[in-house]
């Protein structure tokens, strides 16, 4: 019996897709409390560092409300909760670093003394088969690819033309910051720039690179954070922007 390769990952999206808005956590104290309820006296569930990212469903965001119900990166374990609106700033509201070049294999953002280059390459499945982890389903041996190099794989939609990032480099006023390979190697199906963005929070010296990749069942959004000229972390959600 031939194996049928079912190359989808994540949740199946129907007509009721929940879109997200990404927000940076900003506070001069360096951290922000997430509370169980929308009340300053409610218990603190956890703290996030200034510069961290949360997302809010677009249909629930109210800019005039005192509190926002936020969700965390898929990689953060534990419950989410409420943050004061005054401690949040939408990533798209920061200084824009313009997309100046886009191609099948390369994206370049430039502006405000910042140059961000994202290189994309094809991944030969047969040559890298041992790096992928399949999950078998049912008696007919169908399976999905769920991991790459021991990490959850995002955006895998088919064996044909598997693509991921090969490098991401931010050059800030002549200082190059190369993101670690582990921060992007399991991010598949990058888009060609239509849904990719780069912004700069000048006041807090933070560069944000964020993009929605994949399609249909493989859709995901990832954001990388470069704080004080160092790689700070990433945010991932299976919600599109």
| Confidence band of 1 (pLDDT split at 50, 70, 90) | very low
Rounded Cα–Cα distance for residues 217 and 189 (Å): 12
Q: Which domain holds residue 206?
A: 94-123+161-237
Ranges 15-19, 41-45, 103-107, 202-206: which has the least confidence: 15-19
Above 60 in pLDDT, residue 60?
yes
According to DSSP, the residues that pair with 24 across neighbouring strands are 53, 89
The encoded tokens of residue 83 equal: 């943050």
| Percent of the chain at pLDDT exceeding 90 | 67
Helix (H) or strand (E) holding 148: strand 142-148
Cβ atoms within 10 A of the Cβ of 51, count? 22
- Does residue 206 lie in a domain region? yes
- Does residue 172 lie in a domain region? yes
- Does residue 233 lie in a domain region? yes
Whether the pTM exceeds 0.85: the reply is yes
Rounded Cα–Cα distance for residues 197 and 168 (Å): 13
- Does residue 189 lie in a domain region? yes
The pLDDT tens digits of the residues spanning 162-215 come to 899 999 999 999 999 999 999 999 999 998 888 999 999 999 999 999 999 988
The encoded tokens of residue 218 equal: 């493989």
Model pLDDT, residue 235: 97
- Does residue 210 lie in a domain region? yes
The pLDDT tens digits of the residues spanning 135-169 come to 766 556 666 788 999 999 999 866 657 899 999 99
Among 207, 118, 203, which Cα is nearest to 165's? 118
- Does residue 220 lie in a domain region? yes
- Does residue 49 lie in a domain region? no
| Percent of the chain at pLDDT exceeding 70 | 86
The pLDDT tens digits of the residues spanning 109-124 come to 999 899 999 999 999 8
What is the domain count for the chain? Answer: 1
According to DSSP, the residues that pair with 220 across neighbouring strands are 213
- Does residue 30 lie in a domain region? no
Model pLDDT, residue 160: 59
Average pLDDT, the chain: 87
Q: Give counts: helices (H), strands (E), the chain.
A: 0, 20
């Amino acid at each position: 019996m031939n194996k049928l390769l079912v190359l989808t990952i994540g949740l199946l999206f129907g007509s009721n897709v929940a879109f997200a808005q990404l927000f940076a956590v900003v506070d001069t104290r360096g951290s922000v409390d997430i509370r169980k309820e929308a009340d300053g006296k409610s218990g603190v569930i956890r703290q996030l560092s200034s510069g961290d990212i949360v997302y809010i469903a677009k249909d629930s965001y109210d800019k005039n409300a005192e509190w926002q119900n936020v969700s965390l990166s898929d990689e953060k374990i534990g419950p989410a909760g409420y943050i004061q609106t005054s401690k949040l700033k939408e990533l798209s509201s920061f200084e824009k670093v313009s997309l100046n070049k886009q191609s099948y294999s390369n994206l370049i953002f430039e502006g405000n003394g910042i140059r961000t280059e994202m290189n994309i390459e094809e991944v030969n499945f047969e040559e890298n088969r041992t790096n992928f982890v399949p999950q078998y389903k049912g008696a007919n041996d169908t399976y999905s690819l769920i991991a790459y190099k021991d990490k959850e794989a995002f955006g895998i939609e088919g064996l044909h033309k598997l693509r991921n990032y090969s490098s991401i480099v931010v050059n800030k006023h002549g200082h190059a910051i190369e993101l670690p390979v582990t921060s992007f190697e399991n991010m598949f199906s990058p888009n060609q720039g239509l849904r990719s963005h780069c912004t700069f929070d000048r006041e807090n010296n933070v560069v944000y690179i964020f993009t929605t990749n994949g399609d249909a069942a493989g859709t995901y959004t990832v954001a990388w954070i470069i704080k004080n000229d160092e790689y700070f972390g990433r945010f991932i959600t299976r919600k599109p922007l």
